[in-house]
Structure 1
Amino acid sequence: MLSFLFRRLIAMVLTIWAVSFVAFAIIQLPPGDYLTSYMASLSAAGDRINPETIAALRERYGLDDPYVIQYFKWIGGIVQGDFGESFEWKAPVTDLIWGRLGNSILLEGLAILVMWLVALPIGIYAAVRKYSLGDYLATIGGFIGLAIPNFLFALVLMYLWYVYFGQTLGGLFSPDLEGSPWNLERILDFLAHAWAPVLVLATAGTAQLIRVMRANLLDELTKPYVVTARSKGLPEWRAILKYPVRVALNPLVSTIGWLLPTLVSSSVVVSVVMNLPTAGPLLLKSLTTQDMYLAGAIIMLLGILTVIGTLISDLILAWIDPRIRYGGR
């Protein structure tokens, strides 16, 4: 197990370096840079552009340097804990992203937890009671959940909540607790606001996991080892949960690596609609203004989350399936 973990850690470091290089390259792909967008916005507003100021900003941020030099300056600062300064906000990137990224991780983590807690029992029931009324209801619910866009569900939920309860759904905290430190009152306030975005974000993922769990378990229930376990008098619940369910979990566990970044990226529009202080709207704003240090930092951190999630899924797979642990021997 230790050698398995060591190989994964080496691959993780190399992957993170590759992600940083690609992330910085993606920000450089559009023509122009932040100052180009800034000058265009000034011209549209009828303001006068001072060439000396633009030249000074280019020299300050090193925008005229070759791509490789800009990259190594950026990655060298990140190694020291400095993600650079945001052009748009005129503030250090670390001060801008940590709070919002923490809100994103907390919100999407709760969404993943809800997805698994709801999808697994429903998927198991739908497979064991194939073609029953519950199976048909789960199938219909799954198709509806996959078909409805998250932002549309958010708009409908906000409208219905306002019509029937006279309250608006939006934000993650009350105004008086927005910047306060974490304590019991703020945690309860967060939970009172977070249920709506968690419900919206978890809907499509839950529907997908139900379908995957049902299909995987149906394949396992007809295999000879399940028939043998039943013929030996093993209780039905144990014959299902101990063997086929454990094997059917493999494809679901392998999706942990991309679930969190997928939720973060899919929550961009939902965060804008529901006014959520998460990383999604900040990433969207930085991309439209070509704020390369801010956008690159968020994209890189999302890549790191993917790599860490993949490592976690690999370790869980090796734990629940000995074939993976000993596959190289």
Structure 2
Amino acid sequence: MTTFITRRVLQTLAVIVLLSYVCFYLMSLMPGDPVDMMVASNPKITAEDVARLKSLYGLDQPVYKRYGSWISSIMEGDLGYSRTYRVPVQELMGPRMWNTFILSFISLGLSILIAVPLGVLSALKPGSRLDYFMNLFSFAGISIPSFWLAIVLIILFAVKFPLFPAGGTQTIGAGELGFWTDLMDRSKYLVLPVLSLSIQQIGRFSRFTRSAMLEAMRNDFIRTARAKGLSRRRVIWQHGFRNALIPLITILALSFSGLFSGAILTETVFAYQGVGKLVYDSIIGNDYNVAMISFVISVSMVLLANLLADILYGFADPRISYQ
């Protein structure tokens, strides 16, 4: 197990370096570097000033040298400076990652609590009314565009029936009124984004759960367990559900990676101050440092979630060995 984890960690680091370089190169091709933006805002700037500024920021060097300088700064703990927000990147990323974690964790937990039992019930009663309803709900949740669903929720629950705020993270000054006041205020702003994310995740998770359970319940060991006189509950959860965990672990691990990478469309529509909206704003504003750090965090979370899924496979199925 130790050898497997060490090998996967080294592979993860290599993939992060490779993908970060590709992203850095692609962002360097975007029109409008920091000096160009300064020139656009100051018509009196001279060609000598432009050359001096490009040399100062290293923009006159090849991409691989600029990437090497950026990596060196990252290794020293300097994440750079945000030109858009005028603060160091580490001061900007902390609160945004915390907001995204809260939003994603609540929506993911709610989705799992609802989708898994419904998916199991649907698999145990194939062809029933519950099964047809779950299939309809699952396909609707998977097919509906996230931005459209977010806009509909805003129209219904913030415009037609003004029960919740249309967007934002918290009311200005609410954090100074005490912990519980701040918690209740933040909860109001979380309802619609959580609902938007959960509806889509419930449809996807319930569909995967149903398919995995249907396949598991058709196996010979299920008939053997029933023939041995085991209770229906033990057959379903200890034998059927445990063998259906393998595909579920995969899809849940990939969803877990979004806890820190953020939901770009949902956060942008609801103006929720998370990592997803930060990535969108940084790309639009050519804020290279923020965009690159956000990208590295997203890639790292996806790769680490895959590693976690591979490790959990061995606990879900004892037949899997990493020797």
How far 1:166 sits from its partner (Å)?
Answer: 5.6
**TM-aligned CA distance change 1:187 to 1:241, over 3 Å:** same
Contact kept, 8 Å, 1:27 with 1:295, in 2: the verdict is no
Q: Which residue of 1 aligns with 2:280?
A: 284
In structure 1, the residue matched to 2:74 is: 78
Residue type at the aligned position of 2:188: A
What is the alpha-carbon distance in structure 2 between the residues aligned to residue 235 and residue 284 of structure 1? 52
1:48 and 2:43 are equivalent in the alignment: yes
Q: Shift of residue 9 of structure 1?
A: 2.7
Letter in 1 for 2:229: G
Structure 1 residue 128 displacement after superposition = 0.4
Alignment of 1:223-234 (within 5 A): 223-234=219-230
Task: Tell me the alpha carbon deviations over residues 15-71 of structure 1, each in whole angstroms, 9 at most, x when there is no partner.
Answer: 33333323322322335534335545x4xxxx5151344333322211111111111
Q: Distance in 2 between matches of 1:161 and 1:18?
A: 44
Q: Which amino acid aligns with 2:10?
A: I
Tell me the equivalent position of 2:172: 175
Q: Which amino acid in the other structure matches residue 68 of structure 1? A: Y
2:23 aligns to what?
23
Conserved 8 A contact 1:24-1:71: yes
Counterpart residue identity of residue 50, structure 2? I
CA distance in 2, matches of 1:316, 1:13: 21
Task: Tell me by how many angstroms 1:213 deviates.
Answer: 1.1
1:168-220 CA-partner distances (Å, limit 9, x unpaired): 33222222136x69944433432332122111012212211111111111111
Closer, same or farther in 2 for the Cα pair 1:313/1:273, shift >3 Å?
Answer: same
Are residues 1:68 and 2:64 paired?
yes
CA distance in 2, matches of 1:137, 1:190: 33
Work out the CA distance in 1 between the residues paired with 2:150 and 2:260.
16
How many percent of aligned residue pairs carry the same amino acid?
A: 28
TM-score of the aligned structures, taking structure 2 as reference length: 0.90
Which residue of structure 1 aligns with residue 249 of structure 2?
Answer: 253
Structure 2 vs 1, CA of residues 225 and 7 (structure 1 numbering), >3 Å: closer, same or farther?
A: same
CA distance, structure 1, for counterparts of residue 242 and residue 180 of structure 2:
37
Aligned length: 321
Aligned residue in 2 for 1:154? 150
CA distance in 2, matches of 1:15, 1:183: 41
Q: Distance in 2 between matches of 1:260 and 1:16?
A: 18
1:298 alignment partner AA: S
1:11 Cα deviation from its structure 2 partner: 2.7
Conserved 8 A contact 1:201-1:263: no
| Contact 1:100/1:278 (<8 A) preserved | yes
8 Å contact kept, 2:123–2:131: yes
**Relative to structure 1, is the Cα distance of residues 66 and 181 closer, same or farther in structure 2, using a 3 angstrom cutoff?**
farther
| Paired letter, 2:4 | F
1:6 corresponding residue in structure 2: 6
Q: CA deviation at 1:301?
A: 1.0
Distance 2:133 2:25 in 1: 47
Larger RCO: 1 or 2 (CA < 8 Å, sep 6+): 1
Q: CA RMSD in A?
A: 2.4
